[in-house]
Chains A and B, each alone.
Chain A
Amino acid sequence: MSAFSRRRSFMLCLLLVGFCGILIRLVSLQILQAAELTAKADRQHQKSVAFEGARGAVTDRHGKVLAMNMEVPSVFGVPTALESPSRAARHLSPVLHVRRDELERKLRQDKSFVWLARKVEPEQGQRLERLSLDGIGVVMEGRRFYPKGPLLAHVLGFAGMDGQGLEGLEHRYESQLRGEKRVTILQRDALGRTVFPKGLAEKPPSPGSALTLTIDEVIQYIAEKELEEAVSRSHAKGGTIIVMEPQTGAILAMAVNPRFDPNTVGALTPDRWRNRALTDAYEPGSTMKVILAAAALEEKVMMPGTMIFGENGRMTVANTVIHDHEKMGWMTFAQMIQKSSNIGAAKTGIALGEQRLYRYLQAFGFGQRTDIDLPGEIGGLLKIPKDWGRRSLASISMGQEIGVTSLQLVSAVAAIANNGVMMKPYVVSEIRDAKGVLLKEVMPQAKRRVISPETARTLTTVLEGVVTDGTGAKAAIPGFRVAGKTGTAQKIDPKTGSYSSTQLIASFVGYVPADAPRLAMVVIIDEPQGESWGGVVSAPVFRRVGEQVLTYLGVSRDDQIKIASAATYD
């Protein structure tokens, strides 16, 4: 073999080995490592991003926004990418209003991701972007915002940091309000820019549904303002006002004091945000005489003119003494309600008997939840007659030994205003999807008839007497007929276990105009100081709220009808 031929064979072998090497490498890359390398390439080119539809808004009955979502910046750090955590903390501290040492501690952690501040103000995010610090990033997150601050806070509740409803309507309607969650894959180029999302034709995640409430923002404001003033004036612990439409059960306002701002729940305790209008039961005292009177009139045990002897303000029942706030002799049944005689009430209860009284208390909804669409409602306390003591019949007749919520009380009295038909209270009237399509419309729901229309009319006349000639004189609204009842209940002193003479609950429950009711309202003031009678503390609040709300609703006063009939205007 010549030298040339040897060199040629050697080169051929060399090329063959080389090509074999390439072939082996190709097989290794394309076949053996194919799956692993494809996944690696996808990881570099594709980015999966979780999108969540915005949480639905909550509006009042006229579409005024009470809760909505807003995109705000959240600030994070990548400690492993930071050169100087202390320098970064020095720059961040004045922008985020977080202590420098706290930020530095977070940035020194051995982690690839730490939250530095979540859901901050948009201006803070813009300032940070201008700083453009390495290892510090800003992402946008949806924050729940309550533009009216403390208004209706106890009903609305609030949502947590991750947008989940924690209290109130936010919690009750979580599944409807929450936006859809979806993961989308984005293609990135060499510079990390998004080129083309896979499945571009896919619909974006749909936002949550919006709630329309029965609440009227203006009526709510009037109720909260007047309650705040009353609580502050009487140096009380707190209070509640509920305004309801008797014919439908729609709640127009539900005010609870002390108030809180759901935008800054922060360090507040559950005690502060609990909706006491339906989570707390109390002994109602004399307001319960309305139910007693309804039962006695319906059962014809009493007529408005039936005479009752007041025992001159002192009567013994089951070895205990019942007192009246003023000594009374003979009085009519109507006067007994108007002057709020405990002895008269006890005698009426005894005449009715345990079973009948219990039956009416149950029919009026006591001892059971009203099933309002709000979380945390309790059923109150109503013992079955078997468990009643010797004094129970007399006690329950004057509003003791029974626990009721403010909502139960106003619902029961609203039934009288509604000609004896009890309606289910509700706060959400409509649920609409993000495009405004109606998903659910809540219709007023009648629960049952509790008394006849005739009894309701008779009782209305008796309750009007409470305001014209009785303890509720300060609830009178000029130009309107007001029906209602005062109540002053003693609270149980936790130290002694007996009724306290200083810790009282002053209340007024009623409806207006009595002849064609537009509003049923309860006013509860918890532990007022000084003169603590329901007629002194709560009745004037009823008048002030009623007067403003009726004017706002455009309800004519009796005297205006007379003026209008003269048909002469300036």
Chain B
Amino acid sequence: MKAMMMLLGLALIFLFVWERVDVVRLGYQIERLKAQKVLLIRERDQLQVKVSVLAAPERIAKVATEKLGLVSPQQGQVFLVRQQQEAPIPASPAPEQIRVARNHQRAGFGE
């Protein structure tokens, strides 16, 4: 009986020590994951900034005109076509209008 009690006491001590050690180990793990999260958030923010910079209208206009040779549609080249009332309703939401760009003055882009 005495031996049993001693064993139980020892087991409790080991359990307590193991629990304390595990708490510290988990603490280190949490800190590592937190640091990783911070790095990932930082990377996400940097990528978001890059996307926003690349999507700036000024840059897009520059690329469109200087690199791709596109031109702004001139007067009379953009037609807005209203959807017919009786047309069947599509399953997915469709834009209210369809834009049709025509180029009467030029044979093609990039000239």
**A interface residues, tally (CB under 8 Å):** 36
Contact with B24, one of A195, A200, A478, A557 (Cβ below 8 angstroms): A195
A478 to B, closest residue via Cβ: B75
Known A64-B52, A68-B45; contact A221-B27, beta-carbon cutoff 8 A: no
Known A147-B52, A149-B56, A554-B80; contact A69-B45, beta-carbon cutoff 8 A: yes
B33-60, CB under 8 A of A: which get 1 and which 0? 0000010011001101100110111100
Cβ of A132 within 8 Å of any chain B Cβ, yes or no, is no
Q: Chain B contacts of A556 at CB under 8 A? A: 80, 82
Check A196 against B78 for contact (C-beta < 8 Å): no
Q: Tell me the residues in window 53-70 of chain B with beta carbons closer than 8 Å to chain A beta carbons.
A: 53, 55-58, 61
CA distance A151 to B56 in the complex (A): 9
Check A200 against B30 for contact (C-beta < 8 Å): yes
Known A148-B56, A547-B75; contact A195-B27, beta-carbon cutoff 8 A: yes
Cβ of B111 within 8 Å of any chain A Cβ, yes or no, is no
Check A554 against B46 for contact (C-beta < 8 Å): no
Cβ of A378 within 8 Å of any chain B Cβ, yes or no, is no
Check A147 against B80 for contact (C-beta < 8 Å): no
B74 to A, closest residue via Cβ: A547
Cβ of B97 within 8 Å of any chain A Cβ, yes or no, is yes
Cβ of A31 within 8 Å of any chain B Cβ, yes or no, is no
Q: How far is the CB of B42 from chain A (nearest CB, A)?
A: 5
Known A195-B24, A551-B78, A560-B80; contact A221-B49, beta-carbon cutoff 8 A: no
Cβ of A218 within 8 Å of any chain B Cβ, yes or no, is yes
Check B57 against A196 for contact (C-beta < 8 Å): no
Check B45 against A151 for contact (C-beta < 8 Å): no
Known A148-B52, A478-B75; contact A71-B57, beta-carbon cutoff 8 A: no
CA distance A122 to B79 in the complex (A): 47
Q: Chain A contacts of B79 at CB under 8 A? A: 560, 563
Q: Chain B contacts of A218 at CB under 8 A? A: 57
Check B97 against A221 for contact (C-beta < 8 Å): no
Q: How far is the CB of A232 from chain B (nearest CB, A)?
A: 15
Q: Chain A contacts of B81 at CB under 8 A? A: 564, 569
Q: How far is the CB of B16 from chain A (nearest CB, A)?
A: 17
A239-276, CB under 8 A of B: which get 1 and which 0? 00000000000000000000000000000000000000
Q: Chain B contacts of A147 at CB under 8 A? A: 49, 52-53, 56
Check A221 against B58 for contact (C-beta < 8 Å): yes
Beyond A68-B52, A122-B46, A221-B58, 9 additional contacts (C-beta under 8 Å) are A65-B48, A71-B42, A71-B45, A148-B56, A195-B24, A195-B28, A556-B82, A557-B80, A564-B81
List 9 interface pairs A-B (beta carbons < 8 Å), by A numbering.
A69-B45, A71-B41, A148-B53, A151-B56, A196-B27, A221-B58, A554-B96, A563-B79, A564-B81
Q: 3 closest Cβ contacts across the A-B interface?
A: A147-B52, A196-B27, A221-B57
